[in-house]
């Protein structure tokens, strides 16, 4: 594959991100502005049509992109931190601790993720709200649920990474430089984070491109089921769910299904392709 | 062989028990009671209901009560679907999900492996890149996109299949296709990367030097060792096809186990959720066991006893 394809892919992702950040400012409509033109098909005034309440679909999609992309980024980053730390410790300590830590991962693997995320969200929703209310973060309090969704998705997505990092550490810790580090008297945290961590970073970064689409997908999945992002906020998942809810044999507003689908599938394709190319470069 | 099976089954028991215990505790810890849906119950009624279902007392006590029932094969009663036991619900809905899942699983393998093999054989040529791109495309379209789009296309615009329901074979077509398509891509890519690795091996060069034709080379010589990663992945894959059916069942109105799971989670129906999770967990463990056994069968170098 030529690097041109990779550049095109990166450019498209950059364009999407910029559109998500700045796009809503250029739109003549606001995200939750209700109008009389309900379910209008795409035309010159509403490029991608309007939904059941007369809201402009393009504006809502751009707005939804903020949440969907942000969820992906935050979730993937959290999974990165948890997974890398867990894998490093488990692999380096070895023995009985390693065994116990990996069994725990096995058990979490066998639990359906949606249960974990839902329980996490409903358990801590109110607590976090109270916690935030008193501090300078008070404006965030109304979004406590969303914050927990970010964290929750990150916390269920780290399992694979922990396994990958652990497998790497198992071989790296046998190398001479680790032994030398131990001989000059470096303590375990220093060896872990200063000596071994830099060695696993390339693999971790390519994994990030795998985790990003996975988290975005999971968020859309939960939102599609009505368990993730809540109205009046919108993500691609909720927009798609809104469209799918209007599915009927007589007159379906096709634009409400087709455009969110295209955008989500296109983004996932780009991210998967990017991960593919990065892994190829590594070999 | 038998000792391998015994050891694996014995080591699965603690995993399954922990999964059940964690799941039970998580659902019980979640705020909201299964008994208060619209309006709050008075405390007396609430406590009578809790005693009736074995949900009174401390959490460890409740868990112990549930676990002892579980060991007698009793999964408890559903709290939302009053008058139905979890055994009954699972007994009715699981076969439907299994049927749908096994069709989708077969489709995923039947299309995925040839697609992957073909694109590996055409490696470096434009057609190979195209086929690989096709695999990437199918894997990037999630089921919850496929479901509404295919219904829109094939049920409403072209009247090909019914949009929802359960019972006739034609109602199975769309859900099975939607469920399998993302996994076609996954299977194709695993097959492709496995094959590309094997095709560089010495025994393939020897076979090619002996004059084995290219299709024979791929399908007779290289495929068997090359699908090992796929087999290892097929265990979790089978389980995730079954859990993935959750959304398909929702969209296509199929009364399978996934629908009950979602409603159970929303209603804090603790016995229903734990029961379904137990089924999923057992399926996962079972498929992993089969995958390990198949791996050993395909690759004589791997021994089951180690």
Cβ-defined contact of B142 to A247 (cutoff 8 Å)? no
Check CB contact of B285 with chain A, cutoff 8 Å: yes
Residues in chain B within 8 Å Cβ distance of A252? 152, 156
- Exposed/middle/buried for residue A74 (C-beta within 10 Å: 0-12, 13-18, 19+): middle
Nearest residue to A68 via CA among A28, A19, A105 = A19
pLDDT digits (tens, 9 = 90+) for A151-201: 888 878 888 888 888 888 888 888 888 888 888 988 888 888 888 888 888
Residues in chain A within 8 Å Cβ distance of B147? 244
Q: Which chain B residue's Cα is nearest to A112?
A: B277
Average per-residue pLDDT for chain B: 81
Give dist(CA A250, CA B24) in Å, integer. 44
State the pLDDT confidence band at B306, using cuts at 50, 70 and 90. very low
Average pLDDT (A99-105) is 83
Q: Which of A114, A119, A257 sits opposite B27 (nearest CB)?
A: A119
Q: Give the pLDDT score at A141.
A: 65
Residues in chain A within 8 Å Cβ distance of B163? 247, 249
Give dist(CA B97, CA B259) in Å, integer. 10
Among B residues 105-124, those touching chain A with beta carbons less than 8 Å apart:
none
pLDDT digits (tens, 9 = 90+) for A64-88: 888 888 888 888 888 888 989 998 8
Q: Which chain B residue's Cα is nearest to A249?
A: B156
Q: Which chain A residue's Cα is nearest to B285?
A: A110
Residue B104: pLDDT over 70 = yes
Q: Which of A110, A244, A249 sits opposite B251 (nearest CB)?
A: A244
State the pLDDT confidence band at B111, using cuts at 50, 70 and 90. very high
Give kind and range of the element (H or E) at residue B124. none
Nearest residue to B166 via CA among B110, B74, B85, B97 = B97
Q: Give the pLDDT score at B141.
A: 86
Neighbouring residues of B159: CB distance < 8 A, sequence distance ≥ 6 = none
B-interface mutation test, from A100, A119, A121, A261, most B Cβ less than 10 A away: A119
Cβ-defined contact of B136 to A122 (cutoff 8 Å)? no
Q: Which residue has the tokens 């393998």?
A: B109
DSSP chain A: --HHHHHHHHHHHHHHHHHHHHHHHH-SS-TT---S-TTPPS-SSSTT-B-TT--BHHHHHHHHHHHHHHHHHHHHHHHHHHHHHHHHHHHHH-HHHHHHHHHHHHHHHHS-HHHHHHHHHHHHHHHHHHHHHTSTTGGGGGGHHHHHHHHHHHHHS-HHHHHHHHHHHHHHTTSHHHHHHHHTT--HHHIIIIIIHHHHHHHHHHHHHHHHHHHHHHHHHHHHTTSSS-TTS--HHHHHHHHHHT--SS---THHHHHHHHHHHHHHHHHHHHHHHHHHHH-
Q: Which residue has the tokens 């009364």?
A: B255
pLDDT digits (tens, 9 = 90+) for B53-74: 777 778 888 888 888 888 887 8
State the pLDDT confidence band at B202, using cuts at 50, 70 and 90. confident
Average pLDDT (B266-291) is 83
State the pLDDT confidence band at A115, using cuts at 50, 70 and 90. low
Residue A127: pLDDT over 60 = yes
Higher pLDDT, B32 or B10: B10
- The number of angstroms, rounded, from the C-alpha of A233 to the middle of its chain's C-alpha atoms is 17
Lowest-pLDDT range of A52-56, B19-23, B97-101, B208-212: A52-56
Q: Which residue has the tokens 């594959």?
A: A1
Q: Which of B15, B18, B142 sits opposite A217 (nearest CB)?
A: B142
Give dist(CA B204, CA B198) in Å, integer. 8
Question: In the numeric block, which tokens belong to residue B57?
Answer: 């007392």
| Cα angle: B146, vertex B148, B153; to 5 degrees | 90
B-interface mutation test, from A2, A112, A209, most B Cβ less than 10 A away: A112
State the pLDDT confidence band at B243, using cuts at 50, 70 and 90. low
Give dist(CA A115, CA A229) in Å, integer. 16
Q: What percent of chain A has pLDDT over 70?
A: 93
Give dist(CA B266, CA B31) in Å, integer. 11
How far is the alpha carbon of B211 from chain A, nearest alpha carbon, in Å? 30
Q: Give the pLDDT score at A140.
A: 67
Dihedral in degrees, nearest 10, Cα atoms A58, A63, A67, A68: 10
pLDDT digits (tens, 9 = 90+) for A8-17: 888 988 988 8
Residue A19: pLDDT over 50 = yes
pLDDT digits (tens, 9 = 90+) for B128-163: 888 888 888 888 888 888 888 888 888 777 777 777
Q: What's the whole-model pTM score?
A: 0.81
Average pLDDT (A127-149) is 73
Check CB contact of B252 with chain A, cutoff 8 Å: no
Question: In the numeric block, which tokens belong to residue B83?
Answer: 């008058």
Residue B299's SS3 state is coil
Residue B305: pLDDT over 60 = no
Question: In the numeric block, which tokens belong to residue A276?
Answer: 């593919």
B-interface mutation test, from A1, A115, A152, A261, most B Cβ less than 10 A away: A115
Q: Which of B15, B148, B265 sits opposite A115 (nearest CB)?
A: B265
Check CB contact of B11 with chain A, cutoff 8 Å: no
Cβ-defined contact of A276 to B247 (cutoff 8 Å)? no
Q: Which of B26, B156, B285 sits opposite A115 (nearest CB)?
A: B26
């Amino acid at each position: 594959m030529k690097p041109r394809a990779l550049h095109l892919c990166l450019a498209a992702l950059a364009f999407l991100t910029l559109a998500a950040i700045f796009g809503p400012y250029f739109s003549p409509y606001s995200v939750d502005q209700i109008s009389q033109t309900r379910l209008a098909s795409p035309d010159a005034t509403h490029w991608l049509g309007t939904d059941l309440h007369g809201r402009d679909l393009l504006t809502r999609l751009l707005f939804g992109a903020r949440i969907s992309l942000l969820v992906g980024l935050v979730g993937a980053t959290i999974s990165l931190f948890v997974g890398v730390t867990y894998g490093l410790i488990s692999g380096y300590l070895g023995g009985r601790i390693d065994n116990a830590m990996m069994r725990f991962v096995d058990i979490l693997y066998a639990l359906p993720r949606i249960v974990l995320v839902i329980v996490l969200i409903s358990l801590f929703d109110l607590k976090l709200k109270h916690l935030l209310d008193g501090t300078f973060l008070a404006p965030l309090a109304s979004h406590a649920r969303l914050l927990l969704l970010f964290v929750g998705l990150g916390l269920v997505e780290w399992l694979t990474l922990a396994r990958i990092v652990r497998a790497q550490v198992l071989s790296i810790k046998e190398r001479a430089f680790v032994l030398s580090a131990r001989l000059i008297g470096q303590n375990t945290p220093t060896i872990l984070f200063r000596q071994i961590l830099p060695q696993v970073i390339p693999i971790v970064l390519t994994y990030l491109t795998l985790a990003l689409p996975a988290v975005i997908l999971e968020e859309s999945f939960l939102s599609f089921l009505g368990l993730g992002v809540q109205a009046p906020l919108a993500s691609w998942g909720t927009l798609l769910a809104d469209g799918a809810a209007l599915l009927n044999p007589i007159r379906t507003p096709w634009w409400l299904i087709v455009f969110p689908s295209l955008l989500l599938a296109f983004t996932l394709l780009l991210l998967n392709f990017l991960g593919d190319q990065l892994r190829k470069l590594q070999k | 062989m038998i000792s391998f099976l015994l050891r694996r089954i014995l080591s699965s028991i603690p995993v399954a028990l922990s999964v059940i215990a964690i799941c039970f505790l998580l659902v019980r810890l979640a705020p909201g009671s299964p008994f208060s849906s619209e309006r709050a119950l008075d405390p007396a009624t609430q406590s009578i209901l809790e005693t009736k279902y074995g949900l009174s007392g401390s959490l460890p006590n409740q868990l112990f009560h549930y676990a002892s029932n579980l060991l007698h094969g009793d999964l408890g009663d559903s709290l939302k679907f009053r008058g139905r036991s979890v055994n009954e619900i699972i007994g009715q809905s699981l076969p439907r999900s299994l049927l749908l899942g096994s069709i989708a699983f077969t489709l995923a393998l039947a299309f995925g492996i040839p697609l992957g093999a073909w694109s590996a054989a055409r490696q470096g040529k434009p057609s190979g890149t195209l086929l690989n791109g096709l695999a990437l495309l199918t894997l990037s379209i999630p089921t919850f996109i496929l479901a509404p789009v295919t219904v829109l296309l094939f049920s409403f615009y072209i009247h090909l299949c019914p949009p929802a329901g359960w019972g006739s074979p034609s109602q199975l077509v769309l859900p099975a296709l939607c469920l399998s398509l993302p996994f076609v891509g996954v299977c194709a890519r695993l097959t492709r990367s496995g094959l590309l690795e094997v095709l560089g091996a010495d025994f393939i060069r020897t076979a090619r030097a002996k004059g084995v034709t290219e299709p024979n080379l791929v399908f007779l010589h290289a495929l068997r060792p090359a699908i090992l990663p796929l087999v290892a992945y097929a265990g979790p894959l089978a389980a995730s096809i079954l859990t993935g059916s959750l959304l398909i069942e929702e969209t296509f109105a199929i009364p399978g186990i996934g629908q009950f799971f979602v409603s159970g989670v929303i209603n804090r129906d603790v016995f229903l959720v734990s029961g379904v999770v137990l089924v999923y967990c057992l399926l996962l463990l079972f498929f992993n066991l089969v995958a390990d056994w198949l791996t050993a069968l395909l690759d004589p170098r791997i021994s089951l006893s180690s």
